[in-house]
Structure formats: structure tokens, C-alpha cells
């Protein structure tokens, strides 16, 4: 069952990059974008999409795959709005950064056919700035694209879509939705909250001191890069993964308190040793 047409609802940074990546990877089928008219105009001008339609119910017509590349709240809403309108042979999938609540909505909409009709996905890629202007064909090259299938057995359409994803340079990984949300809380969502908190406290303390900010270190630049990420993107992540993110933040608070209380003791050395070991393991895992 070849994929002859794909509809991407949300043709911004992620959706636009996926479209450009598909073209770069050799996809010759049709790509329909669905977004605001001004976004679709840019996406079409950049060659990301063949046509643009602002109404989702119309944009999905004739597509073998429909990708929801919007914020999580909109993904959950869109599953309910367009899911029942898709023919049984079409696959609905998404790019949401949390998976459990999205999977639950898909099961509620598709019932016993959910595992065949919907494939939850999450590309572990992106920049701190959003929008079609930031889209790039190589965004997913070398990145993991996580799938959390609702059933152990994938059908032909899902497997074909996963193969298309890999033409963008991404590497497919599958895991359980519960594990996904917990792991991402620690490896993705917690780092974002750290960068946000650091950026906020620095603004309060040094925001008006241009000399101090001009002396920024490499560490400061690296740790505050994602502080530029918009709240509109992270709001739904925090809402749908608070059960995992809250305990992660609490653990971090405890370690920060330990650092504060032991700046003059050898306890500080132990924290550095554990951090050094974590970094070594992270580097080995990427080799």
C-alpha cells in the first residue's frame, strides 16, 4: 500500500521540516498542508507542500497518512474532530512530546481499531524557535523518532509510514507510552524547565546590567539556549506530563538545596563526581 498523499496539519517548524525532509529523502507523493493561510503561503513558497488548505476536514481528503504536528492540546482535539472522518485504510499519527493522554484519546475515538488507525509518534528534534521560517530538511537527521504503538503488532500502513520517517534521516524507536512520558520528563522536559528557571532568575538579577550580560560564558550560552522556547509550545507538555515532571523537579530542588548547603564541604565533590559520571555515560551512549 504505497503512500500517495500525506496531509500535515500544522506546517510550522516540525511539520514543515518533515515535509522538506520527505522531499529531500525522495518522497514523490502529494503533500497537503493545513494551517493558517499566511503559514501555508510560506510553506508552499519554500516547496514544503504542494497545496494548502486551512480547513482540516477538507485537507485530509484523499490522504493515506495524516500527521498532526500541532501543540498537544490541539492534537487531542483534532483526533476527535477528524478521526471519525478518515477512511479505515488511512493512518492518523502525531508529533506530540507526551504520549499517554494522546493515546487515551485515540482509544476513546477509535475503540478496538485504535491500534490500526492511530500511531503515536514523537520526533526528538527541534529548535527553541518555532514557525515555518525555522523549518529545515535536515532537522531529523540523526535524531530519534519515538513511536508508542497502541498494539504490539504494527500493520502494513504503520510500517510503511515508519519507513518514510526514516527517509528524513531519523531513527525509529518504539517504547511504551508510560515509559516514554517518564523518560522524556527527565531527559527533555526537566532540562527545559531548568533553562527557563535559570533564564528567569538571571533576568531578575542581571537583566539591566548590559556589562554583566556581555561577559556571558560558554556555559551560560549553552544552558540558556532553550530558554528562548515559547510558552505556547511547553504549556501543553507541562499540563499533560505533570505527574512525571513534578517529582523530577522535586528531586532537582533537593540536589540544588544540597549544593547550597555544602558549598564549603566535601559533599560538593560527590555531586560533581556523580555529574561527571552521568556525562561520561551520556557520551558513551551516543557513540
Whether residue 98 is found in the same domain as residue 31? yes
Whether residue 154 is found in the same domain as residue 206? no
Provide φ and ψ at 135, rounded to 5°.
-65, 145
Q: Which domain holds residue 268?
A: 180-285
Strands, E assignment, the chain: 5-9, 30-34, 51-52, 65-68, 91-94, 118-119, 121-123, 144-147, 171-174
pLDDT digits (tens, 9 = 90+) for 160-178: 999 999 999 999 999 999 9
pTM of the model: 0.91
Query: Residue 11 in contact with residue 68, Cβ under 8 Å?
Result: no
Whether residue 230 is found in the same domain as residue 139? no
Burial class from Cβ neighbours inside 10 Å (0-12, 13-18, 19+) for residue 194 reads middle
The number of folded domains in the chain is 2
pLDDT digits (tens, 9 = 90+) for 56-90: 999 999 999 999 999 999 999 999 999 999 999 99
Whether residue 121 is found in the same domain as residue 162? yes
Which residue's C-alpha cell is 522536559?
A: 189
CA distance 186 to 174: 18
Whether residue 115 is found in the same domain as residue 135? yes
Whether residue 84 is found in the same domain as residue 192? no
CATH at residue 201: 1.10.3660.10
Residue 216 has pLDDT above 90, yes or no: no
Whether residue 202 is found in the same domain as residue 75? no
CATH at residue 116: 3.40.50.720
pLDDT band at 126, cuts 50/70/90?
confident
Whether residue 163 is found in the same domain as residue 190? no
Q: Where does a domain end: 146, 175, 204? A: 175
CA distance 32 to 100: 27
Q: How many CB atoms lie within 10 A of CB 104?
A: 15
pLDDT of residue 287: 67
Q: Where does a domain end: 138, 155, 175? A: 175
Whether residue 116 is found in the same domain as residue 187? no
Amino acid at each position: 500500500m504505497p503512500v500517495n498523499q500525506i496531509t500535515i496539519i500544522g506546517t510550522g517548524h516540525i511539520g514543515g521540516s518533515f515535509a522538506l525532509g520527505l522531499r529531500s529523502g525522495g518522497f514523490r507523493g502529494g503533500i497537503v498542508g493545513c494551517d493558517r493561510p499566511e503559514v501555508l503561503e510560506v510553506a508552499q513558497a519554500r516547496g514544503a507542500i504542494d497545496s494548502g488548505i486551512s480547513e482540516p476536514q477538507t485537507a485530509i481528503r484523499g490522504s493515506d497518512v495524516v500527521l498532526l504536528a500541532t501543540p498537544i492540546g490541539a492534537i487531542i482535539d483534532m483526533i476527535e474532530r477528524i478521526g471519525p472522518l478518515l477512511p479505515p485504510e488511512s493512518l492518523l499519527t502525531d508529533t506530540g512530546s507526551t504520549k499517554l493522554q494522546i493515546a487515551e484519546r485515540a482509544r476513546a475515538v477509535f475503540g478496538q481499531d485504535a491500534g490500526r488507525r492511530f500511531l503515536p509518534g514523537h520526533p526528538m528534534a527541534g529548535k527553541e524557535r518555532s514557525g515555518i521560517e525555522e523549518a529545515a530538511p535536515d532537522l531529523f537527521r540523526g535524531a530519534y523518532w519515538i513511536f508508542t504503538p497502541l498494539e504490539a503488532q504494527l500493520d502494513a500502513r504503520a510500517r510503511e509510514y515508519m519507513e518514510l520517517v526514516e527517509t528524513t534521516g531519523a531513527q525509529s524507536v518504539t517504547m511504551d507510552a508510560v515509559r516514554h512520558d517518564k523518560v522524556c520528563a527527565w531527559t527533555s522536559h526537566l532540562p527545559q524547565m531548568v533553562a527557563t528557571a535559570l533564564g528567569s532568575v538571571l533576568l531578575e538579577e542581571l537583566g539591566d546590567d548590559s556589562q554583566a550580560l556581555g561577559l556571558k560564558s560558554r556555559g551560560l550560552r549553552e544552558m540558556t539556549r532553550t530558554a528562548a522556547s515559547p510558552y505556547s509550545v511547553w504549556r501543553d507538555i507541562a499540563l499533560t506530563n505533570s505527574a512525571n515532571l513534578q517529582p523530577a523537579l522535586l528531586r532537582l530542588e533537593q540536589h540544588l538545596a544540597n549544593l547550597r548547603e555544602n558549598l564549603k564541604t566535601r559533599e560538593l565533590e560527590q555531586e560533581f563526581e556523580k555529574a561527571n559520571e552521568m556525562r561520561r555515560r551520556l557520551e558513551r551512549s551516543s557513540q
